[in-house]
Structure 1
């Protein structure tokens, strides 16, 4: 059985990063998915750093018809798009989107009238079946969906 789909509405705060990783590990039932965990962590951290703590977001993780895993993180700011940065060796930040780019098969941004969705697609971990159906809200607390 597939652990997908997953949909969670939450506030982008530092403590949400490990909580979301824990939720994904739990739902994955022990299937190793470090690339998925790292991409989700980086996308959520980018919101915290660039839009501010407490920004309401919606995280969706689903299967695709091509057998990939799609991660989507929606936020209410349509104008602040992720950018590839070049971090020096001693810099403590600036690598998030570079990591997402390196780990994902493809990524992008979909802009809506009242927000945007940053997404990436990854190879599905071995042992996952392709997910079919609508997202099931698993409730990590926090705010409702972005407007």
Structure 2
């Protein structure tokens, strides 16, 4: 399992993609979409933990988890208008991932997906 601690900043997204270069495009894209969601909805500079692990199951899925300290800002899957410049991150994640969800705790949350 790969575990990274970083700050959710725009500069962190390309760095995260670089750190995950040995993983598939889908894994890199999902991880950076989850990070971007934190920047947009929790706040730039939020400390996050990113975990990426292959599963022991025969299906060969990779699990991506991104944790942050705000248990209140939960992700919501919306349909963005055609003319909208943002709002497609979770729709993209939903399309790429086999499944995804949120684990909410008293002191934070983890948004995860499996690809």
TM-score (norm 1): 0.75
Larger radius of gyration: 1
Of structures 1 and 2, the one scoring higher in RCO (CA 8 A, sep 6+) is: 1
TM-score (norm 2): 0.95
Instruction: Give how far 1:52 is off.
Output: 0.7
Question: Which runs of 5 or more residues in structure 1 are unaligned?
Answer: 123-147
Report which of the two has the higher share of strand: 2
Instruction: Give how far 1:114 is off.
Output: 0.5
Structure 1 stretches of 4+ moved >6 Å? none
Instruction: Give how far 1:37 is off.
Output: 1.1
Aligned ranges 1:1-147 → 2 under 5 Å: 5-25=1-21, 28=22, 33-66=24-57, 67-122=60-115
Question: Which runs of 5 or more residues in structure 2 are unaligned?
Answer: none
Alpha carbon RMSD of aligned pairs, Å? Answer: 0.9
- What is the number of residues matched between the two proteins? 113
